[in-house]
Amino acid sequence: MTEKTMAGRVCVVTGGNAGIGKATVIGLAQRGARVVLVSRTAERGEPALAEVRTACPAADVDLVLGDLTTQASVRALADALLAACPTLHVLVNNAGLWMTERTVTPDGFETTFAVNHLGPFLLTHLLLDRLRASGAARIVNLSSEGHRMGKIRFDDLQAERHFDRVRTYCDSKLCNVLFTRRLARELAGTDVITHAVHPGVVRSDLGRRSSGLVRLGFALGRPFFKTAEQGARTSIYVASAPLGMENGLYFKDSKPCAPAKAALDDAVADRLWDVSLGMTGLA
């Protein structure tokens, strides 16, 4: 039986309706947390909510609908979460996608960059005061070992000159680690800790908006990938373990490890932070 180590804690998991996100919701609920499952649609969220309650009958879990694609929808999601959570102890920025063709959001941003970086960046900022006020809070940002192949190209952040499905995804995952490390500096002296995690290559629906060879590659590789439950272990560990006040680390297989050299560049992290503030209207 799983110990109720998260009793009294309130957690939010974006993209909690499928894959790693749903497994994370179940894992946190089993540990006694109240969990808010964020899903883009009721059609995907309500069956996931039922699955969580079946897997963990005692679960205190709620569904909130929210989309990271546009900044208006992120702001609406933040308002809904603030209304639903008078206290908030854990934010798991789990939602993400992989695009095989360049598209832009209604805000005019390249979709991968918008959903994988700008969405979590904005949502985190909008919830930060509540996290600070709740005490001993934690922010978990899902990245990937793919960040090691990423590069921040400030002259082409929107991949207008050159879009490559692998490169663009890896660039966004590098953004996640840089954001985490810069956020950790911002949180110095508070009770809020943030870490980035690599879940592993997981049988998930990450490639649901992909096409062609990428979708085929996900399908053929599924038998060799981690299960969603295995992939969620690091997120659950970082969200629940007594890690002390160390901050801004990168975790793989539930252990801290060194991220790519590019992720340690504080000047790039600072510039990305400032650019992102401007893009999200926070500056």
- Report in angstroms the alpha-carbon separations of 276 from 107, 113, 152, 243, 273: 14, 11, 12, 29, 5
The strand pairing partners of 251, in sequence order, are: 197, 256
Q: For 108, phi and psi rounded to 5 degrees? A: 90, 10
- Give the active site residue among 169, 218, 237, 251: 169
Q: Are strands 250-252 and 255-256 parallel, antiparallel or unpaired?
A: antiparallel
- The DSSP symbol for 191 reads S
Those residues with Cβ within 8 angstroms of residue 220's Cβ, 6 or more apart along the chain or in another chain = none
Distance between CA 145 and CA 166 in Å, rounded? 12
Query: What are the b/e assignments for 41-68, b being 16+ CB within 10 Å?
Result: eeebbeebbeebeeebeebebebbbbbb
Q: Return the structure tokens found at 64.
A: 């909130």
* Residue 237 annotated to the active site: no
Q: Are strands 250-252 and 34-39 parallel, antiparallel or unpaired?
A: unpaired
Q: For 238, phi and psi rounded to 5 degrees? A: -65, -35
Distance between CA 71 and CA 75 in Å, rounded? 6
Which residue numbers are catalytic? 169
